[in-house]
Amino acid sequence: MKNHKTRLFKSWVIWGTIIIVFFLAFQFAVYNVESQNPDTAINSFADALWYGIVTIAAVGYGDMVPVTVLGKILGSVLVLGSIALMGALISQFTNKIRQVMETKKLGYMGTKMKNHCVIIGWDIFAMNVTKWILESGKKVAVVTNRKEDIDLIYNKFGEKDIFVLFSDYSNTESYELLNITNSSSVFINFHDDSETLVRLLNIKKIYPNLNYIVSLNNAELKDTFETAGVTFSISNQEVASKLVASYNFEPDVAYFTEDIMSSAKDENDHDLVEFKVNEHNPYLNQNYMDSFIGLKKEYNAILMGISRKENGHYKIFKNPKNDLTIIMDDYLIILVDGKSKQELEKIFKQKEGRG
């Protein structure tokens, strides 16, 4: 893209120089023709230059006009040439605006999003994932290899919190346009698990330290993907089958599970969220039971568990022992409603999720 801009600049310089030289030579000819006539107002090259500029600009003061036949012919050529030149310039300008708009639409100007979710591979499943991510207050950058997806995505989600890049999936260098190194997670989503693995390995070569998530068709491949460096892998069929089974013999559990998987917007909605423990967190250095009681009493929120990094990996303590002490950089997993989530974000001075 940089080489393209350089070539374009050189082309403009060359053509600009040619036009200027031609214009100066043309006005010199007008001066030579007109200066021989005593009735002309064009008595110097500066006068001829002024006449040419006024004519090209379509101002037409009328203070200087050619009086000789040859001068009028040259003046007519200048008038017609200026019309053609202006038409060409307007056409070029319009084309450049169109190209800029197309370049922006295709995502080639990049984004400055931070702590956003990157989704590589677009389909109906990715669309549903995007919906829930946006509803949770996160931003999303999408990579698709189909141009027709771009308008569909922007028409459905708007342009405020989503960015779309049109690119071949194998062109991993273009992912810089996603500001991928400042993303919170990268979701790789393809129908074929082998393609997902290949894409994952290729991306990890360039961006080894990102948080990778994949969707799998075959749940038995989870260990393979974890070995390849995936932070989290999920089987669509596995999740769906568990919910369907639960609806058959534990319908209330299934309804409850479905409810807490959505985003909480008001007091009637519920959501499982996680907050990283920082220096502002009032439950820092408190034990689990005291924190559990405090969250329930003050915010009607339920502390479900704690995620803690051990040996380079996060381990989840579900319903841990009462004396487990909350430490810096733990993640508190909390069941909230829409009101309590907003209150906790203010108290903790951060948004939900990992950023």
178 domain-assigned? yes
Q: Which of 75, 64, 141 is nearest to 107 (CA)?
A: 141
257 domain-assigned? no
Quote the radius of gyration of the chain (alpha carbons, Å): 33
Domain extent for 51: 2-105
pLDDT per position as a tens digit, 53-84: 887 776 766 677 788 888 788 878 877 877 77
- How do strand 212-216 and strand 270-276 relate by DSSP bridges? unpaired
Strand 212-216's sheet: what is its strand order? 162-166, 140-144, 117-120, 185-188, 212-216, 232-235
**45 and 153 together in one domain:** no
Q: What is the band of 93 on the pLDDT scale with cuts at 50, 70, 90?
A: confident
pLDDT score of 130 more than 70: yes
Which range of 224-238, 281-295, 305-319 scores highest in mean pLDDT? It is 281-295
Cβ count within 10 A of residue 180: 22
Q: What is the CATH number of the domain that holds 121?
A: 3.40.50.720
Q: Is this structure's pTM higher than 0.85?
A: no
**125 and 72 together in one domain:** no
pLDDT of res. 68: 81
Residue pair 117/188 in contact (Cβ under 8 Å)? The answer is no
User: In angstroms, rounded to a whole number, what is the distance separating the alpha carbons of residues 100 and 334?
Assistant: 46
**272 and 234 together in one domain:** no
User: In angstroms, rounded to a whole number, what is the distance separating the alpha carbons of residues 131 and 136?
Assistant: 9
Q: Which of 234, 171, 166 is nearest to 202 (CA)?
A: 171
